[in-house]
């Protein structure tokens, strides 16, 4: 749900017409005439153009500047309510959504599996219609992407994907805002993914090329990204003149990369696979050895929570690590 905001004056030269540096608060002009997002679902970044995603990031940066830096009070969601369905627990998604929605004057309503059983005690269709009559939008963190698709089809209000088995779009928006703050522009960056072919990687694959970013991803055999996602990502790369490569060699994926990215190897619901996964991911820990083959300006991202086997302390707590600004930016992008 987007609202018209005052245009932030741009006093600095831009490296890219629609990109900005939040660190110095250099902002491009908003694309309000071209972009219409009000009332739309956010199920996957596949459904959005590069200009539309850039506008989301511009708006996130504007809110961060005006609220955090300038201390403005912007009750843009006063009188609005948000249904929050959480089949999976989350620190950052819950905190960022509840505090962000409240900061904008709205009322978030948290619903756990004890409050709502999607498709069990009540059909997804009936749930969607009830929520549509009582709230203004729904953020759902679920196990199955198909449940989100049904909610979106049956609801008359926007449905936002807070995480599913296939995509995690709100996390990637926070990642991109963080990288724009650090590098000044996303165009030309090489993202090096080292880990599972999961929902985070899928969301990167659905959006990176739209910003002119290259992607090098390494996953263990048997843990590659979804073939249908890969096919579409290859199409995006071709259309945007970027490079995308998939490999099983972590060092190959890291070579020349500006951003080293990994994620948990064992997501919620995969606990029974722990032993098998730990064995399959041997050699995938991100260390300074990994960083040695990366670009000289390398940084590190991890959406958290982090386990030491995924990335060692030397990288995770290094000055190159952007994980905590990345976590904070979950709030500004979800807002």
**Cα 148 from Cα 141, distance rounded (Å):** 9
- Dihedral, CA of residue 57, residue 205, residue 334 and residue 168, to nearest 10: 180
Would you tell me how many other CB atoms lie within 10 Å of the CB of residue 312? 16
Which of the two residues, 40 and 1, has the higher pLDDT score? 40
Residues 203 and 167 sit within 8 Å (Cβ to Cβ):
yes
- Residue 225 is given by DSSP the state P
Residue 75 pLDDT: 97
**Cα 219 from Cα 204, distance rounded (Å):** 14
Active-site residue, 109 included: no
- Residue 18 above 90 pLDDT? no
Residue 200 pLDDT: 98
| Average pLDDT of span 6-17 | 33
Query: Percent of the chain having pLDDT more than 90?
Result: 83
Residue 215 pLDDT: 98
Is residue 15 very low, low, confident or very high in pLDDT (cuts 50, 70, 90)?
very low
Which of these is catalytic: 61, 103, 303, 327? 303
pLDDT tens by residue, 154-174? 999 999 999 999 999 999 999
- Residue 12 above 50 pLDDT? no
Residue 32 pLDDT: 53
Domains of the chain, earliest start first: 75-163 (3.40.50.1370), 171-334 (3.40.50.1370)
Angle subtended at Cα 228 by Cα 227 and Cα 233, rounded to the nearest 5 degrees: 95
- Residue 323 above 90 pLDDT? yes
Residue 115 pLDDT: 87
Residues 240 and 210 sit within 8 Å (Cβ to Cβ):
yes
| Average pLDDT of span 139-159 | 97
Query: Does pTM surpass 0.95?
Result: no
Burial class for 299, CB neighbours closer than 10 Å (0-12, 13-18, 19+): buried
pLDDT tens by residue, 238-293? 999 999 999 999 999 999 999 999 999 987 677 778 889 999 999 999 999 999 99
- Residue 320 above 70 pLDDT? yes
- What spatial distance separates the first Cα and last Cα of the chain, rounded to whole Å? 9
**Cα 316 from Cα 182, distance rounded (Å):** 17
Residue 26 pLDDT: 44
Residue 22 pLDDT: 37
Q: How does the average pLDDT of the chain come out, rounded?
A: 90
**Alpha-carbon distances of 182 from 99, 168, 173, 300, 329, rounded to whole Å:** 25, 22, 14, 11, 12
Pairing of strands 214-218, 299-302: unpaired
Residue 204 pLDDT: 98
């Amino acid at each position: 749900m987007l609202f018209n905001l005052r245009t932030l004056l741009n006093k600095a030269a831009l490296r890219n017409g629609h990109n900005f540096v939040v660190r110095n608060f250099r902002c491009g002009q908003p694309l309000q005439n071209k972009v219409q997002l009000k009332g739309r679902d956010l199920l996957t970044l596949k459904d959005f153009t590069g200009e539309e995603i850039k506008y989301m990031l511009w708006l996130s940066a504007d809110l961060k500047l005006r609220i955090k830096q300038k201390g403005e009070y912007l009750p843009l969601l006063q009188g609005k309510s948000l249904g929050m369905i959480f089949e999976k627990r989350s620190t950052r998604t819950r905190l960022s959504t509840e505090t962000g929605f409240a900061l904008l004057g709205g009322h978030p309503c948290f619903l756990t599996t004890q409050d709502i059983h999607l498709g069990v005690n009540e059909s997804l269709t009936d749930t969607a219609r009830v929520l549509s009559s009582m709230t203004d939008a729904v953020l759902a963190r679920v196990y199955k992407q198909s449940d989100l698709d049904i909610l979106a089809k049956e609801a008359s209000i926007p449905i936002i994907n807070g995480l599913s088995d296939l995509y995690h779009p709100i996390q990637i928006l926070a990642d991109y805002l963080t990288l724009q703050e650090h590098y000044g522009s996303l165009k030309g960056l090489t993202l090096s993914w080292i880990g599972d072919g999961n929902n985070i990687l899928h969301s990167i694959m659905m959006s990176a090329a739209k910003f002119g970013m290259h992607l090098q991803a390494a996953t263990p055999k048997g843990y590659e990204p979804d073939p249908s996602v890969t096919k579409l990502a290859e199409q995006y790369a071709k259309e945007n003149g970027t490079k995308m490569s998939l490999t099983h060699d972590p060092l190959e994926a890291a070579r020349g990369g500006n951003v080293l990215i990994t994620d948990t190897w064992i997501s919620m619901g995969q606990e029974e696979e722990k032993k098998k996964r730990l064995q399959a991911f041997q050699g995938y820990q991100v260390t300074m050895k990994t960083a040695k083959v990366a670009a000289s300006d390398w940084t590190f991202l991890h959406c958290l929570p982090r386990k030491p086997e995924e990335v060692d302390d030397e990288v995770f707590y290094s000055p190159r690590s952007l994980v905590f600004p990345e976590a904070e930016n979950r709030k500004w992008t979800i807002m």
